[in-house]
Amino acid sequence: MKIEKINSIHNRLKSNSYLVYNDKDEGILIDAGVELADVKKFNINIKAILLTHCHFDHIMFLNELQKYYSCQIYISIMDKLGLLNQDTNLSKAFHKTLDFSEIKNNIITFNDNEILNIADISIKCILTPGHTAGSACFLIGKNLFSGDTLFAQSIGRTDLPTSSYLQQKSSLKRLDNLDYNILYPGHDRISNKEEQIKNIKFWLSIN
């Protein structure tokens, strides 16, 4: 299994997307904040797009990616509602309004602790509400894709629609007990579990 971090120059918030693929050049894309051209250069057959949450900087190229790869989109039940709501996904306020009406029938929801098996990749879906009501992380082997729940040296903000600081702290406690080695966050650099033990401890100490 290989993992590629991808960014787009046209995503002003510089959110990370990740390409996870097998030795058959089949794989998944985690988050859709990158343009089709940025993904195509890897020559991977994308079987699914997994979304950590519904905010515009992580979904802004979802339409073009889904149409090109004709793949299913996976998102938590709660954040599917946000994905289709232009106020909740923040596209109305911060970006051009995003409309997913043409591809909404390709959206599949998952539950907490559900295991997805796509392209010979086993993916555990872990609900981590706080940044959004339906934020999720994906555990693939010893690799944790944390979206905007957890960053290298920070955490996701909780002053946005459907955010909850109390839920965020509960989610951080859950991640603190999770067995993983490498953290692949939704923004900034890649981290590891050792660094996150200190990071989470600091944020949990703040009332």
**Is 19's pLDDT higher than 90?**
yes
Task: Grade residue 206 by pLDDT with cuts at 50, 70 and 90.
Answer: confident
According to the model, what pLDDT value does residue 95 have? 83
**Is 193's pLDDT higher than 80?**
yes
Q: How many CB atoms sit inside 10 A of residue 157's CB?
A: 12
Q: What is the mean pLDDT of the chain?
A: 96
What's this model's pTM, rounded to 2 decimal places?
0.97
**Is 184's pLDDT higher than 80?**
yes
Quick one: 136 exposed, middle or buried, by C-beta within 10 A (0-12, 13-18, 19+)? buried
Q: Give mean pLDDT, residues 149-166.
A: 96
Q: Which class is domain 2-204? A: alpha beta
According to the model, what pLDDT value does residue 96 have? 86
Residue ranges per domain, the chain? 2-204
Task: Grade residue 103 by pLDDT with cuts at 50, 70 and 90.
Answer: very high
Q: Is 202 left (phi over 0), alpha (psi -120 to 50) or beta?
A: alpha
According to the model, what pLDDT value does residue 169 have? 96
- Please list the residues that pair with 137 across neighbouring strands: 126
Task: Grade residue 79 by pLDDT with cuts at 50, 70 and 90.
Answer: very high
Quick one: 128 exposed, middle or buried, by C-beta within 10 A (0-12, 13-18, 19+)? buried
pLDDT in tens, 22-77: 999 999 999 999 999 999 999 999 999 999 999 999 999 999 999 999 999 999 99
**Is 207's pLDDT higher than 90?**
no
